[in-house]
Structure 1
Amino acid sequence: MKVGKRLENINEGNNFFYLTVALVALLISSGLAEVVGSGWIDRVLQIFIIVVFIVCFASLRFDKNWSRLLKTLATCWVIATLVKLIFDIREMDVLMLALTFSFFFGTFKSTAKQVLFHGEVNTNKVVGSVALFLLLGLMWAIVYLIIIEYSPNAFTGLEAISWGENFSNAAYFSFVTLTTLGYGDISPISPLAQVVVYLEAIVGVFYMAIVVSSLVSANLEHREKNNG
């Protein structure tokens, strides 16, 4: 009952706070899951992804088109998870990764539409821009995991293990690349992996400039309409 009331309290004035907290919790849980043990990592991570699904649905339900698609993605993801657990079909891993990427991409698109392109800039929208950054890193992490599924030796420092066990490492490498830190402990080897990595670095460089200019532009437009 308390969880239901919490979700009901999510509105257009605070929805991105909940979304950002859910994404941060997902990143933290992926790291903590490794402490539990390899047999539990996939399940713990899957539980947190389901929680993120629920919070994202509640946070972005104001975008009707995305909320309908989110229901479809969530249903397919749950079915794929059950099939994976029951029949242990390897191809389900790739399907689950593709569904997860679609989820992050759709969430990014819906959030960007609400944050960057209209309305007055407030604290909720600033937090939303943080959520956009987290979603970028998570999308690229999923892409890296898909690459590893088909090319296990595409990266040095990333082992060809289950995506649940590898998610934390892929997310770490993704955000290190997105922020252009480049520690070097994980490196791309295959040509495809190298292209994907430098594309993420380019996006990371331009992200802040694009977000700041969009927020300023939206705020000025809102003020002009009010003053006009």
Structure 2
Amino acid sequence: MSQTEEGVFLLRPRTLFHFPPVDVCCHTCDNMCTGRCSRCIAVTLYPLALISIICNIVLFFPDANTKYAKDGHITEEVKYMGGLVGGGIMVLLPALYIHLTGKQGCCGNRCGMFLSIAFAAVGVAGALYNLSVAALGLKNGPLCKVLLIWSTPFKDSDYLTDDTWWVKCTEPRNIVQFNTGLFGTLLACGCLQLVLCAIQMINGLFGCLCGTCSKKTII
């Protein structure tokens, strides 16, 4: 109700429901700072991808010797290149793009955040591949020389909890510890990469709907 200059009171129509402006909703979402979150995720993915690549390459040279790779006496799961391709390239490339969405420019906008969802999905696929190969490598155990025969003596066994059987492998030296340590590292990296890329998919969705937290969001 309001009063005019003549002193006559007029009734002001009221609505039953009051919806806040769209800008207010998006401002609330912007406070989540999706751009900054993208940068943090990308910076964390970089070392994880690098570690995965290094671990996969090192796995080709047990006992720091190249002869096993030349003779083909390498654990089968190493040849799948889960760390090099999955946890490495398939995570590193999305990480580079995700990093760009956290900056002002061609990718730091709603369209860029939408595309980051697809890139993050590629990272999820790579992380899953890395994780699966590493888990399979730990489960089957290393290829090693038992007496005069090259085989995988620990396949379908609980060798990880019973190290008394590790002496069965006479060559390469300390191959069980070597494979277990590197495949275990790849498994941990794959798990972290999977979680981070999944978070970026959710973050990208919010960024697509409401924009990044940059001072000037380019639509």
Which TM-score bucket, shorter chain as reference?
Answer: 0.3 to 0.5
Larger Rg: 2
Q: TM-score, normalised by structure 1?
A: 0.33
Q: TM-score, normalised by structure 2?
A: 0.34
